[in-house]
Structure 1
Amino acid sequence: MVDVIIIGGGVVGCAVARELSRYSLNIALLEKTDDISNGQSKANTAIIHGGYDAHPGTQKAKFNVLGNKMYDKVCEELDVPHKWNTSLVVSFNPEDHESLVALKEQGIENGVPGLSIIGQDELRKREPNIGSTAYEALLVTNGGIVCPYELTQAFAENAAMNGVNFYREAEVTAIEKVKDGWKVTSKAGTFTAKAVVNCAGLYSDVINNMVSEDKITIVPRRGEYYIVDKKFSDTFHASIFQLPTKMGKGILVTPTVDGTILIGPTAEDIDDKTDTRTTTEGLAKVLKYASLTWEHIPARNYITTFSGLRAHCNKNEFVLGEAPDAPMFFNAAGVESPGLTSSPAIAEYLAEMITDKLGAKKKDNFNPMRKGIPKFREMTDEERAKAISINPDYAKVVCRCETVTEAEIREAIRRPVGARSVDGIKRRTRAGMGRCQAGFCTPRTLEILCEELHISPLEVSKFGGNSKYLESYLFEKGDHEDA
């Protein structure tokens, strides 16, 4: 028996794992796919929200504000890039002034510091490339940006360093109450645990409804995005929102910590929790509304498009804490935006609740520090020479667009909870995320995966499961090796 099973390897699940690893507990995290950060944690707006737009008194408002305040410490400990670039909520009509005032007042009620409304002169001084009809804006000084999948990986690596066991391709198929705890059946085996934490994202309703009569429903809400090339990185400085609607925060234009510009998302409720297609209609909507903010979006400089699914709960709220009719079963369900911002605070809240129930004691040897993979593209020439002298694989650039070296790719595989697929490497190193979208680096990346994991090229996948790159050898294996 383990003490705690965490279901789900997204940003919340991995943050919970790290917080619980501060205690003398036996912890297992079960992730249904081949990798952590494979769901909504890999495909979102990457914003550290200020906390002005959640309704006062809600869990979303509470944990947004608390989580925002934790980011400096968390990112310093885990060596994760983030930037306080501010946010702007822009109105394009003088009649919207009262709506901006209401947002400001709501933010003040939520405890958000540094809110003010700025007029056209100040707005255009800050953002010279803002659309010509932009009228005024709510300035959110505590708004920021972060890399969501790098944060998730950092939580996971640090949790593993402190003793958490990660099981991938471990979809949970059944949960049953047993004496002194829970029996959890998964595709990676059967576990028993004193406590279970449901961080299953889009499937958190499925997991909750296995054990509780307090049913919830998660509706997949699809958001579609464009990514614009790094050469436009200085076009905007703040994360620029348009006035929100009941379907979300609207189409935004924001820089990323990696230098690209993100445009989106749409908000479309769908039935299929696996449908991450982009659509002609959705992408057209992105450009239509984004053109208010950015009038001359450079169509020849889109790097790619993508979509992400948000776990929208029918309660329109985070569902956090112990289920009322299932003792020692804890939910982190319906965690959509501002879930990324809230994740450190949600993890701390749940960990305190769980450890109190278990009577767990803090470790003396917990290590909160984790160093990221050194990035060749960010090094000075002197640092590059030193890196190559220590590890010659730093001299071998695999991804030319993002200047990612063989050393970085190998380390991404070797790290705790390391990469097992091409997309896993991409999220850990940015290999394949540049202009050519992996057109040049994929063959060498496949070779390195084979070498490090001791697998056949026919086993290498894009993102696990049946997403294999190669179907068969052109010749019999022995023949082509001798040719």
Structure 2
Amino acid sequence: MYDVVIIGCGIVGAATAYELSKYRLKVLILEAENDVSMGATKANSAILHAGFDPEPGTLMAKLNVEGAVRAKELCQKLSVHYHQIGSLVAAFSKEELAVIQELYARGLKNGVSELQMVDKEELLEMEPGLSHRALGALYAPTAAVVNPWELCLALTETAVVNGVELSLNNKVKEISRRESGYQITAEKGIYQTKYVFNAAGVYSDAVHNMVAEPDFEIVPSRGEYYLLDKSEGSVVSHIIFQCPSNVGKGVLVSPTVHGNLIVGPNAEEVSKTELGSGMDTGNTVKGLRQVSELAKKTVPDLNLRQSIRNFSGIRANSTKKDFIIQEAAPGFIDLAGIKSPGLTSAPAIALYGIRLLEQSIGRTFQLKAQSTDTREKIVFQELTIEEKNKLIQKDSSYGRVICRCEMITEGEIRAAVHSAVVPASVDGIKRRCNAGMGRCQGGFCGPRVVEILADELGKSPLEILQDHTSSYVLTEATKGGLEHV
């Protein structure tokens, strides 16, 4: 019998596991995919929003502002890449100036600090590459960029170190009420638990409906992106937003924590029935053209020919305007409809959901005498020369560069395989240490990563996956034999 089962291990499920791992509880995470952060968490704008956009009085407003503060603290504790570069919402007409003035007032009500209105002269001084048609902007210095899957992994790894169990490739099929809680039937077995957190992302409505009457529907929305080479990373120095509309916050142009430039997204409603096959998570000519045209309204000289990758992400939009954080049934907490600013809000959502459960059961959970709330991670390129030499003397594998674009060493890749949440694929390695994230997108280092992964896991290279289950990199031995892969 588990005390708590968390369904889903995106950023919300991971944050919830991290917080619960501090208590004297037996906790299990059930994740349908072969790794954590495989849904919206790994494919988004990677922005920690300041909190001026949500309607005052909503959960989104409250948890955005609280989450931004908490996320900054967590990134420092867990060695997660985080850059507080600030954001600008540019206005291109008198009507849009009125919109950003409203956002300014909204931000003040929400408790966002340091907000400023800047005129055209100040704006172009801050961002010379912006269109001279811009009339002014709302400046939020507290906005930041982050590595979203790294944060999700760090939270999950720390939770696992603290005793939380993680079961991957274990999709929930059925949930039934029991006198003592719930019985969950999943692909790998049947589990008994007192309490449940539903953090199933785009499938959170289906999970909710297993225990309660339908109350909301998730309506997935696809957003397409360009990721540009680091040669374009200094085109802007802040997160540049367009004025928000009823379909989202508009196409943004922003530096990333790794020095690239991200451009996007558009917004297109997609069919949930096709998501499992990946058919609605690809890119389209129409969608990318739309992103290009809209982005160049803000930054006219944007060089999209320097794109090193296009991708799309799925937002878990719902039929309700606010986050859905509620007790759907006794001891069953929905953490659903977590659209933007979900990444920012996740640390606060986790705490809010736990307090909601404690209120429901009429008691507070007992803290452990000891638990880990920090994580150390070696990033070779960020070490001093002295630190690098010392590390290489201790372990020579840190002296062999495998990913030349990102300068990732063999030592970092082998360490990633032995992290608390073991990667199942080449892309799993990419998410843990950035190997393959550069200009060639794994074209040179990919075969060596396959070789190292197979060696460390004790598998044949034929068993190594690119990403999702069944996405095998190799199908058969060629004339050179597998020893030459």
The reply to whether TM is greater than 0.5 is: yes
Is it true that 1:319 corresponds to 2:341 in the alignment? Answer: no
Letter of the structure 1 residue corresponding to residue 251 of structure 2: I
Q: Any conservation in 1 of the 2:226–2:304 contact (CA below 8 Å)?
A: no
Distance 1:284 1:476, change over 3 A: closer
Within 1, Cα distance between the matches of 2:480 and 2:90? Answer: 62
Task: Please identify, of 388-397 and 89-98, the stretch whose mean Cα deviation from structure 2 is larger.
Answer: 89-98
Letter of the structure 2 residue corresponding to residue 456 of structure 1: S
Letter of the structure 2 residue corresponding to residue 166 of structure 1: L
Alignment correspondent of 1:93: 93
Within 1, Cα distance between the matches of 2:115 and 2:480? Answer: 67
Task: Please identify, of 465-474 and 217-226, the stretch whose mean Cα deviation from structure 2 is larger.
Answer: 465-474
Is it true that 1:424 corresponds to 2:431 in the alignment? Answer: no
Mapping 1:335-354, distance limit 5 Å? 335-354=338-357
Within 1, Cα distance between the matches of 2:246 and 2:67? Answer: 23
Within 1, Cα distance between the matches of 2:160 and 2:69? Answer: 25
Within 1, Cα distance between the matches of 2:161 and 2:225? Answer: 35
Q: Any conservation in 2 of the 1:401–1:435 contact (CA below 8 Å)?
A: yes
For residue 463 of structure 1, give the secondary structure of its aligned residue in structure 2: coil
Is it true that 1:306 corresponds to 2:307 in the alignment? Answer: no
> CA offsets per residue over residues 47-73 of structure 1, 9 Å max, x none?
110111111111111110110121232
Letter of the structure 2 residue corresponding to residue 375 of structure 1: V
Structure 1 residue 125 displacement after superposition: 1.1
Within 2, Cα distance between the matches of 1:131 and 1:429? Answer: 36
Gap regions ≥5 residues in structure 2: none
Aligned residues: 477
Q: Any conservation in 1 of the 2:175–2:210 contact (CA below 8 Å)?
A: yes
Is it true that 1:9 corresponds to 2:12 in the alignment? Answer: no
For residue 218 of structure 1, give the secondary structure of its aligned residue in structure 2: coil
Deviating 4+ runs (over 4 angstroms): none
Within 1, Cα distance between the matches of 2:34 and 2:23? Answer: 27
Structure 1 residue 215 displacement after superposition: 2.7
Within 1, Cα distance between the matches of 2:416 and 2:450? Answer: 13
Q: Any conservation in 1 of the 2:240–2:254 contact (CA below 8 Å)?
A: yes
Structure 1 residue 420 displacement after superposition: 1.3
Is it true that 1:23 corresponds to 2:27 in the alignment? Answer: no
Q: Give the TM-score taking structure 1 as reference length.
A: 0.96
Is it true that 1:294 corresponds to 2:302 in the alignment? Answer: no
Alignment correspondent of 1:442: 446
Q: Any conservation in 1 of the 2:124–2:132 contact (CA below 8 Å)?
A: no
Within 2, Cα distance between the matches of 1:103 and 1:90? Answer: 12
Alignment correspondent of 2:148: 148
For residue 297 of structure 2, give the secondary structure of its aligned residue in structure 1: helix
Mapping 1:153-164, distance limit 5 Å? 153-164=153-164
Letter of the structure 1 residue corresponding to residue 396 of structure 2: P
Within 1, Cα distance between the matches of 2:88 and 2:304? Answer: 24
Q: Any conservation in 2 of the 1:276–1:308 contact (CA below 8 Å)?
A: yes
Mapping 1:362-401, distance limit 5 Å? 362-372=367-377, 374-401=378-405
Within 2, Cα distance between the matches of 1:434 and 1:92? Answer: 34
Within 1, Cα distance between the matches of 2:303 and 2:385? Answer: 32
Structure 1 residue 380 displacement after superposition: 2.6
Gap regions ≥5 residues in structure 1: none
For residue 427 of structure 1, give the secondary structure of its aligned residue in structure 2: helix
| Percent identity over paired residues | 42
Structure 1 residue 143 displacement after superposition: 0.9
Is it true that 1:261 corresponds to 2:266 in the alignment? Answer: no
Within 2, Cα distance between the matches of 1:395 and 1:116? Answer: 47
Alignment correspondent of 1:332: 335
Q: Any conservation in 2 of the 1:222–1:266 contact (CA below 8 Å)?
A: yes
Within 2, Cα distance between the matches of 1:95 and 1:220? Answer: 30
Structure 1 residue 475 displacement after superposition: 6.2
> CA offsets per residue over residues 203-258 of structure 1, 9 Å max, x none?
11111111111432111100000011112222211100000110000000011111
Q: Out of 398, 413, 417, which is 1:413 matched to?
A: 417
Distance 1:55 1:447, change over 3 A: same
For residue 19 of structure 1, give the secondary structure of its aligned residue in structure 2: helix
Task: Please identify, of 463-472 and 280-289, the stretch whose mean Cα deviation from structure 2 is larger.
Answer: 463-472
Within 2, Cα distance between the matches of 1:19 and 1:379? Answer: 30
Q: Any conservation in 1 of the 2:129–2:301 contact (CA below 8 Å)?
A: no
Letter of the structure 1 residue corresponding to residue 244 of structure 2: P
Structure 1 residue 277 displacement after superposition: 0.8
Structure 1 residue 110 displacement after superposition: 1.5
Within 1, Cα distance between the matches of 2:415 and 2:358? Answer: 34
Within 1, Cα distance between the matches of 2:95 and 2:184? Answer: 55
For residue 331 of structure 1, give the secondary structure of its aligned residue in structure 2: strand
Q: Any conservation in 1 of the 2:97–2:135 contact (CA below 8 Å)?
A: no
> CA offsets per residue over residues 243-278 of structure 1, 9 Å max, x none?
011000000001111111100001111113342110
Q: Out of 280, 283, 286, which is 2:288 matched to?
A: 283
CA RMSD of aligned residues (A): 1.5
Within 1, Cα distance between the matches of 2:202 and 2:346? Answer: 16
Distance 1:299 1:76, change over 3 A: closer
Q: Any conservation in 2 of the 1:227–1:303 contact (CA below 8 Å)?
A: yes
Alignment correspondent of 2:134: 134
Q: Any conservation in 1 of the 2:292–2:304 contact (CA below 8 Å)?
A: no
Structure 1 residue 321 displacement after superposition: 2.7
> CA offsets per residue over residues 133-156 of structure 1, 9 Å max, x none?
111101112111111001001100
Within 1, Cα distance between the matches of 2:426 and 2:179? Answer: 42
Q: Give the TM-score taking structure 2 as reference length.
A: 0.96
Distance 1:347 1:201, change over 3 A: same
Letter of the structure 2 residue corresponding to residue 244 of structure 1: P
